[in-house]
Structure 1
Amino acid sequence: MLDTESQTKGPSKRMLALKDFEAAAKRHLPRSIFGYVSGGVEDNQSLRENRSAFAEHHLLPRVLVDVSQRSQAVTLFGRKYDTPFGIAPMGLSALSAYRGDIVLASAARAANVPMILSGSSLIPLEDVIAAAPGTWFQAYLPGDAKRIDALLDRVDAAGFETLVLTVDIPVYGNRENNIRNGFSTPLRPGLRLAWDGLTHPRWLLGTFLRTLMQHGMPHFENSFAERGAPVLSANVLRDFSNRDHLNWRHFDQIRSRWKGTLIIKGVLSVADALTARERGADGVIVSNHGGRQLDGVLSPLRVLPEIVEALGRFPVMMDSGIRRGTDIVKALSLGARFVFVGRPFAYAAAVGGQGGVLHGIRLLREEVDRDMALLGVRSCEELSRDLLRPTASPSDGEYSASVLPAAMKPPTPADSMRPRGLANSATA
């Protein structure tokens, strides 16, 4: 196991949980940048839903189990990772932390977990994969076939082996919080933006001006095969083509061209998950984009069990709302093969750079290890729905099994006789 303690410096040492990074990042970052990272859409219903869903499942530990040889290592797509979580794709990470994408990817590689580079990143994908081989790439598809092929060829030539296709953004969500906080992409120069920077001198000097002096004006580097628009511009029209016409035929085009691992991210329905498998995807990530697209949409945790049940041994992963080791344990118990965590690691990078991200990974990994011991399980394969109970109904004090999908109902005595890891025993 990697010793990240010795690499943790500065304020990160005072962080005892992932939530502590958020409070520190709010002080460190300009209001516009922090609002972009932290916000959802419209009334933030889905943002809140992503957290509340975890609270509706309670853990049921087993005792007097020898857990001295426990391990949270998992195998995914033929590679063994030290822990069952990775870093989700986050656009514009180089605005919140100096060389943010490289910081996140390098920390993930050092900790032996996957990091997914966002297609909306500001550092060329070639630089990121060179710094951290094994990084995954997440694509927002261009709007026409030639540009799709050109982007795929560029990603392949750079050496990426895993492509994550985000499919839940035919149009952009209504991110009113960005407007209220003075954020746009590209950023619009003005007095408000200037004041935002001047009142946060550590960020201004350590991230923005340092980037300008050493690397020039950041651009959207990875949306197309060619370089995109600068991040700071008087023109607020983002240089992305429309995606509302994209359909499964475009996925077929990608599958025929991309020879590596292909994952679809943004699935919330059983029908879409089945279609993804039938058309050749190697895995799906159940996700609502961190509550940043369609407000009022279900938490991925709520639909995860029925998707897992429908797909069987097919790799089903999840993101959105994960903040604690117990969240990871609950997701794996409901059938997820792996999970991804986003915002907390963006905050950790902003506050403490690579050391901060490593510290965040260590905190979460230690929580998972402790939770497994207290639950009485020795491996992620032993996590199953037998270890969960849903929140009791406030009206009658009994489990609300009658309103749950069959996959989420409390087990019957017959169910308890099956091997505990059956729902999550396959490796990719």
Structure 2
Amino acid sequence: MPRPLFGYVAGAAETNASLRDNRDVFGEWAFRPRFLVDVSRRSAAVTLFGTEYATCFGIAPMGISAMMAYRGDLALTRAAAAARVPMIMSGSSLIPLEEIVRANPDAWFQAYLPGEPDRIAALVGRVADAGYRTLVLTVDTTTLGNRENNIRTGFSTPLRPSLRLAWDGAIRPTWLWDVLWRTLRQHGMPHFENSYVTRGAPIIAKDVQRDFGARDHLNWTHLAQIRRQWRGNLVVKGILTGEDAARCKEEGADGVIVSNHGGRQLDGAIAPLRAVAEVKATAGGMTVMMDGGVRRGSDVLKAIALGADFVFVGRPMLYAAAVGGEVGVRHAISILSDEVHRNLAFLGCNRIGEVGMQHLVRVAGVPTSRG
């Protein structure tokens, strides 16, 4: 990828403190393996909202993926369908949501919504009409994070043509030909397709920021409005406290995703792995999922042991798409699946539901929940 695009994906907010801690926290826990258990018939399969998936992780939503890999969202969702894992499509996608669900009827849709009831109702109706069964509302984008890394690497929204940007693209000829040229030739200038019910602005338009406005108005009454309208599974993403998890339950959410947006919003926000135990304790039966910092199968199982019912993986899957398209994502899923399956054996577990705190010991750091 050209430097501005790689910087957009790899970087986070301000000093990248949350981004680093998302990874570092996994090192604060060590496994307590168990042996002489027959694990020859073990399975990592998990059921979420009535659908059985082949393993306990899926693909997190990531915006403008079609700039990192040719038709990137399609590469991600097709690989997910082939591997029988969930994929969440980002509301900041450059491919229409209808096209994604045709390729993978089990895809989930993640929405960024303003605090405007009419616009909310229109987009939720569009998602329902397209055939999605699970809607994910991301709530941690009250305002845009201070992503100084984007300034350093030359990324901006809108994407501003310049000599520097042209040079960054020219020295990445594979990306220039396989992603940019193919996209422009076959699909024209990319637009933000799914911010609202109507097509958004092109990525180079001066007024593209209109697609990201008014989110500081979003509040609990809007979640209640969505719950009244949306008949499918409703998940709230960006929860980091027990208080907010309990309120999500009160408002009728079916699940939450414990997440700090990959460290891209509030720098210094608690790492999801530190928050998952508190959220689980107050979730009242909701499905508790988590993303942030997951890189290996061991990370997946540590999150499960600390209280997550399911785990989503972001950046590694997008890197895989950038390198190898759908084949690359399939390979990445296979690597992670193999690690989960292998580590289940070392823990003496036959099912994901058997993994718990008895398999962990703290070796460093601070408590993950209050008290």
TM-score (normalised: structure 1): 0.85
Distance in 1, matches of 2:282 and 2:233, equals 21
* Pair 1:294-2:266 in alignment: yes
Distance in 1, matches of 2:177 and 2:2, equals 12
Distance in 2, matches of 1:228 and 1:91, equals 14
**Contact 1:187/1:236 (<8 A) preserved:** no
- Once the two structures are TM-superposed, the CA of residue 144 in structure 1 deviates from its matched residue by 1.3
* Pair 1:59-2:31 in alignment: yes
Structure 1, residues 167-215: CA drift from partner, whole Å, max 9, x if none?
Answer: 0011000001111111112211111111111110100000011000001
* Pair 1:164-2:136 in alignment: yes
Distance in 2, matches of 1:131 and 1:405, equals 40
Partner of 1:322: 294
Partner of 1:35: 7
Partner of 2:254: 282
Structure 1, residues 307-354: CA drift from partner, whole Å, max 9, x if none?
Answer: 112225321100011000000010001111000000000000000000
Q: Which runs of 5+ in 1 are unaligned?
A: 1-28, 394-399, 408-428
Q: Secondary structure at 2:86's aligned position in 1? A: coil
Distance in 1, matches of 2:293 and 2:81, equals 23
Code of the aligned partner of 1:344 = P
Q: Secondary structure at 1:223's aligned position in 2? A: coil
- Once the two structures are TM-superposed, the CA of residue 303 in structure 1 deviates from its matched residue by 1.2
**Contact 1:186/1:238 (<8 A) preserved:** no
Q: Secondary structure at 2:78's aligned position in 1? A: helix
**Contact 1:66/1:376 (<8 A) preserved:** yes
Partner of 1:208: 180
Q: Secondary structure at 1:264's aligned position in 2? A: strand
Higher mean displacement: 363-372 or 309-318: 309-318
- Which structure has the larger Rg? 1
- Once the two structures are TM-superposed, the CA of residue 392 in structure 1 deviates from its matched residue by 4.7
Q: For 1:180-199, what aligned pairs fall within 5 Å after superposition?
A: 180-199=152-171
Structure 1, residues 338-372: CA drift from partner, whole Å, max 9, x if none?
Answer: 00000000000000000000000000000001111
* Pair 1:232-2:204 in alignment: yes
Distance in 2, matches of 1:351 and 1:125, equals 24
Q: Which runs of 5+ in 2 are unaligned?
A: none
Q: Secondary structure at 1:263's aligned position in 2? A: strand
* Pair 1:217-2:179 in alignment: no
* Pair 1:264-2:264 in alignment: no
**How many residue pairs end up in the alignment?**
371
Q: Secondary structure at 2:186's aligned position in 1? A: helix
Code of the aligned partner of 2:260 = N
Distance in 2, matches of 1:174 and 1:59, equals 36
What's the % identity of the aligned pairs?
59
- Once the two structures are TM-superposed, the CA of residue 142 in structure 1 deviates from its matched residue by 2.9
Distance in 1, matches of 2:368 and 2:115, equals 39
* Pair 1:107-2:79 in alignment: yes
Residue of structure 2 aligned with 1:371, choices 330, 333, 343? 343
Partner of 2:333: 361
- Once the two structures are TM-superposed, the CA of residue 239 in structure 1 deviates from its matched residue by 3.0
- Once the two structures are TM-superposed, the CA of residue 388 in structure 1 deviates from its matched residue by 0.3
Higher mean displacement: 186-195 or 168-177: 186-195
Q: For 1:347-426, what aligned pairs fall within 5 Å after superposition?
A: 347-392=319-364, 405=369
